[in-house]
Structure 1
Amino acid sequence: MATIVRGSVPTQEFALNHTLAALPNAEVECERIIESGANTVMPLLWVRYADRADVDAALDEDQSVDSVSCLSEFDEECLYRMEWVDHVQLLLQMVTNSDATVLDAYGRKDRWKLRVLYPTRDEFAKTHDFAEDHGLNFDVESIREMDGEPAGRFGLSEDQFRSLVLAAQRGYYEVPRRTSLTELADEMDISHQALSERLRRGMEALVEDTLLVGAVPEDLQER
């Protein structure tokens, strides 16, 4: 069964350690990661919250990258293409030896946060063993096996999925609401408290699986 793993890796064991250290307010998000050789990968990545000249200077001195080019530039972010040529052993193991797909990769300060899809849990075990054998730190935050149902794809239990969908269909999230929590609970033949808990836990699971997979800035509220 396909398995999604969320975790983090120190930048010195991954890529762009110099760049992220030189730009402490910057955030890096990988748009796509492509294997480009036996010891290299070619990511397309966004760099945000840093001046273009400062980013270019940091990347020019970063020993983990080569063949850097800026493809697009916007107000607060730039899209770069480059090759990662050092400290990518763990990433290469994921995409080559474990047939994994890196769904999300965010770098900020001294850590990268990853969300990785493995074809099976056994394939993830290969990455775990590789990290231990090579003294690498892949700190796993969660492991979730996906089933064929929509609930499993979003990290929800079947009850949470049905409750959230019904609440949306009945207009519970509209302003003004077209139904109440009590009316929804009666329709589902469960208690008001049980439904409230399902919706709360379901919303928490959705946020964790979609909005918190990246390196959300600690001072986001001040931006």
Structure 2
Amino acid sequence: MESLLDLEVAILRAEGTADRWEFEFRFPDGGSLSSFQAACREADVGLDVQRVYDLAEEGFSPEERTLTPAQREVLTAAVEGGYFAVPRETNLVEIGEELDISDQAVGERMRRAMGELARAAVIADAEVGDERA
């Protein structure tokens, strides 16, 4: 799991039984996937990759590639409900009630989503800066 955190990999789905686990990950790039596979080999962790695809080639917009559907749902409810207005027009409890999830889940999804958007913005700014240099 440390390898996933170090590589900034998003875990989109995780399902397990007593015998095996299935995961759906989002890697920031192909190099991260290769590094993760190498870390699994070094740790003697069996890995069976079922599918690898590029979200850009699949027709997803940059926004769709950045957020999970659950994160997008929470942010949409927050924006539409006025969570980011000053003063706030809603709160995490109300958003949770609207989405039928706990306020803790709302907060966690919102923090993850905002972190992903912030990282994407910083990376985009850095790329623009590199082009200008």
Structure of higher RCO (CA pairs closer than 8 Å, 6+ residues apart): 1
Normalised TM-score (structure 2): 0.48
Normalised TM-score (structure 1): 0.30
As a proportion of its length, which structure holds more strand? 1
As a proportion of its length, which structure holds more helix? 2
